[in-house]
């Protein structure tokens, strides 16, 4: 049981159990990871650790931010039905392990997924009651500053990700997949907005 369900114990966000599935998306450099970890602390909720074939960054811990796997291992997991969704993002494969999501929902817990738009479309098909949020950068300059401040991506990668951001925002708008668009100009304010939105929905 979490703080949200305490406000309305009968509410349900998935077809099985009474757990809540929350999706956070947004372009590179918008602050998704910080928002997700703060949101998980405040709700409280569990973070869904994705599989990825992307190389590990110096500040990352395998099993914490991602489970870093080879392409062969990713393909094997995917083929065995172990993923809720998967997508190819910025040249690498990413996917959400299915079992932790099913378990959280069945147990009545909240689980937070940080995934891209294509993944969100797939999850919504399976869990239409998933609550979805798309984060927007306050300004393109701020977004660039955040990506560059990470100092873990090559200059070419940074340029590619920034170029893709406009298209991602447009697609997110047109997809109709997102409940709410949030300008992330302040982490705590953005997290409060997400929590308030979840509460309002559950109170209905």
Q: Which residue is nearest to ligand 5GP (CB)?
A: 119
CB 201 within 8 A of CB 63: no
Q: Is 89 in the site for ligand 5GP (CB under 6 A)?
A: yes
Q: Is 143 in the site for ligand 5GP (CB under 6 A)?
A: no
151 sits in the region (left: phi over 0; alpha: psi -120 to 50; else beta) called left
CB 130 within 8 A of CB 23: yes
- CB of 77: closest distance to ligand 5GP in angstroms? 11
Q: Return d(Cα 24, Cα 202) in angstroms, integer.
A: 18
The SS3 of residue 59 is coil
Q: Is 147 in the site for ligand 5GP (CB under 6 A)?
A: no
Burial-class residue 142 by CB neighbours within 10 Å (0-12, 13-18, 19+): middle
Q: Which positions from 110 through 129 interact with ligand 5GP, judged by CB under 6 A?
A: 114-116, 118-119
Among 38, 42, 54, 199, binds ligand 5GP (CB under 6 A): 54
- CB of 128: closest distance to ligand 5GP in angstroms? 18
Q: Is 46 in the site for ligand 5GP (CB under 6 A)?
A: no
CB nearer to ligand 5GP: give 6 or 91: 91
**Choices 24-32, 36-44, 176-184, 195-203; region in contact with ligand 5GP by CB under 6 A:** 24-32
Q: Return d(Cα 161, Cα 27) in angstroms, integer.
A: 8
Q: Which positions from 66 through 85 interact with ligand 5GP, judged by CB under 6 A?
A: 85
Three-class SS of 126-190: HCCCCEEEEEECCCHHHHHHHHHHHCCCCHHHHHHHHHHHHHHHHHHHHHCCCCEEEECCCHHHH
**Contacts to ligand 5GP by CB under 6 A:** 25, 28, 32, 50, 54, 85, 87, 89-90, 94-96, 114-116, 118-119
């Amino acid at each position: 049981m979490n703080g949200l369900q305490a406000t309305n114990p009968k509410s349900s966000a998935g077809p099985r159990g009474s757990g809540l599935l929350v999706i956070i998306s947004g372009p590179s450099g918008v602050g998704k990871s910080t928002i997700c970890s703060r949101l998980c602390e405040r709700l409280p909720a569990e973070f869904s650790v994705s599989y990825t074939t992307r190389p590990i960054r110096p500040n990352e811990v395998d099993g914490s931010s991602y489970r870093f796997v080879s392409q062969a291992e990713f393909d094997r997991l995917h083929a065995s039905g172990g993923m809720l969704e998967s997508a190819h993002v910025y040249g690498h494969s990413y996917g959400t392990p299915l079992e932790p999501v099913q378990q959280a929902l069945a147990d009545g817990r909240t689980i937070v997924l940080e995934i891209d738009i294509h993944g969100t479309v797939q999850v919504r098909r399976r869990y239409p009651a998933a609550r979805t949020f798309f984060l927007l950068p306050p300004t393109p300059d701020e977004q660039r500053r955040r990506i560059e401040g990470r100092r873990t991506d090559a200059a070419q990668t940074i340029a590619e990700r920034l170029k893709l951001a406009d298209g991602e925002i447009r697609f997110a708008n047109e997809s109709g997949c997102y409940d709410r668009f949030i300008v992330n100009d302040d982490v705590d304010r953005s997290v409060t907005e997400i929590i308030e939105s979840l509460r309002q929905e559950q109170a209905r």
